[in-house]
Chains A and B, each alone.
Chain A
């Protein structure tokens, strides 16, 4: 069975500081990994994905994520956080051998203070 863990319910950072949101996953086959963001009263929006290739993936709004196969992690990062980055962030995984199921974590609430 595939699963995603986001160990932190909340992450608080000051504007201008680096932001990291952690994610670990479990799949039996090759993982397809995703990050989505949810702003208040909105649906989830796609940020970036990892399929294969370069372990460092760049996405929207200055976000990037690093795939680490040995640690089964896919942490989301931003070098300099903005107040507008405050939102709920979800990591998701699809097992390459199980086509249909995309599993999400519980989400991490990011608060960036001015």
Chain B
């Protein structure tokens, strides 16, 4: 257990469904991240929140919608996804989103879009 908890661990959804991924950290960190991990590709940074403010949106399609209600919780709302969105979605946190701060990752949510 790293201190970053992601739920659900596995999710299967159709292209017309609406679902959400949840991430929670109790490390006292102020920055939270969503990354997409696909096989044989670099991890893709999707969103960064620093002190609850979104500081990075890496040209992510609008069918992915992040929400950060406080520094401990991060959501990724999913709507009308495509099969190519199937991947492992990793949440991470750090003290701040800058410099040499180390990221602590959750175990990931494995998403399959049918």
Cβ of B105 within 8 Å of any chain A Cβ, yes or no, is yes
Q: How many residues of A contact B (CB 8 A)?
A: 25
Binding site for A on B (CB under 8 A): 2, 4, 6, 33, 35, 40-43, 45, 48, 50, 55-56, 58, 90, 92, 97-100, 102-108
Q: Is the CB of B100 within 8 A of A99?
A: no
Q: Is the CB of A41 within 8 A of B107?
A: yes
Q: Is the CB of A99 within 8 A of B103?
A: no
Q: Is the CB of B97 within 8 A of A90?
A: no
Q: Which of A41, A43, A46 makes the CB contact (< 8 A) with B102?
A: A46
C-alpha gap A51/B103 in the complex (Å): 15
Q: Is the CB of A49 within 8 A of B107?
A: no
Q: Which of B43, B48, B104 makes the CB contact (< 8 A) with A90?
A: B43
